[in-house]
Amino acid sequence: MTATPLPGAPGRTHPLGRIIDLDAYPIDRLATPEGRDLVARCRAQLGEDGCVVLADFIRPEMRADLEAETARLSPAAHINATETNPYNSAGDPALPQDHPKNRFDDRTNGFVAGDLIGEETMIRRIYRDPDFQAFVRQVVDEPEIHEFADPLADLVVNVLKEGRQHPWHFDSNDYIVTLCTRKPEAGGVFQYVPNIRGPQGENFEGVQAVLDGDHSALKSLDVTPGDLQVFFGRNALHRVTPVEGPRERHSVIFAYAREPGFVGRPERARRIFGRTAPVHDAMAQEGVVRSDALAD
């Protein structure tokens, strides 16, 4: 794939120039006034509600190829119809039945694990790209970000078939970056309650209120193919509503962490991907614990 010349820089090319609309989103020129303005606008939106959507991030002429790429990968998704609580954990019999840790709902979505996504794919190239990573780092206002050391969860394709959903949950990583590649006929709406927990604690009462139907703080997003989303999912309760119609919903998740060496819990890997990798087995043997002390 040949990169396109960058605007204002004759003869200079970018590896993602044919894929990303670098005119609208100058992620390769963050030190310019246009780049600084882009980052400032994204930070402002994230500061307001923990989520920002960059519409038409992918060039229109590349969206069909991108959809075909995730469609090719989607049959490899591990789809495990099960029940889960917002923390992707076991229940706690010592707590009341209506406590959020004991509130389970159907999780019927699927994930294509990262070790099944080749280096030659467009989505892996975006994930690895230094300019893309620098953009994400500045948008989330971190001194550094790192690719996951988890070979299953670093880059995944989320697949939702007809009637399936991803119920209320928190992410195990601090933030995620997602790219919509296929939209269903109906349903599959992303909904979230920003900043419902954080350093101050779990706020189980607030989570329970949402589970009981208090949606006063609920936000909904109906993203379209080619849209990029940056989301603080570690502290935001969120879900994807059931897909309606036979057309699958596909989205790519680019996962980065504040610190190097991040690996998800082994039990979470088994639930989401149906298996673990050697790094998870080593983690279980060593008794590694998460540094932020929040429930996973």
Domains defined along the chain, listed by start: 14-286 (2.60.120.620)
Q: Which of 154, 156, 158 is nearest to 133 (CA)?
A: 154
**What are the residues whose beta carbons fall under 8 Å from the beta carbon of 170, sequence distance 6 or more?**
86, 87, 88, 197, 233, 234, 235, 236, 237, 238, 294, 295, 296
> Whole-number mean pLDDT of the chain?
91
* Residue 171 scores a pLDDT above 50: yes
CA distances from residue 201 to 51, 172, 173, 264 in whole angstroms, order as listed: 21, 15, 16, 21
Helices 278-286 + 266-273 axis angle, to 10: 150
pLDDT at 289 over 60: no
Question: Which pLDDT belongs to residue 9?
Answer: 47
Residue 42 has pLDDT above 50, yes or no: yes
pLDDT at 228 over 70: yes
Q: What is the pTM of this model?
A: 0.87
The pLDDT of residue 182: 98
For residue 7, pLDDT beyond 50:
no
Model confidence at 204: pLDDT above 70: yes
Across 125-129, 185-189, 237-241, 276-280, least confident range: 276-280
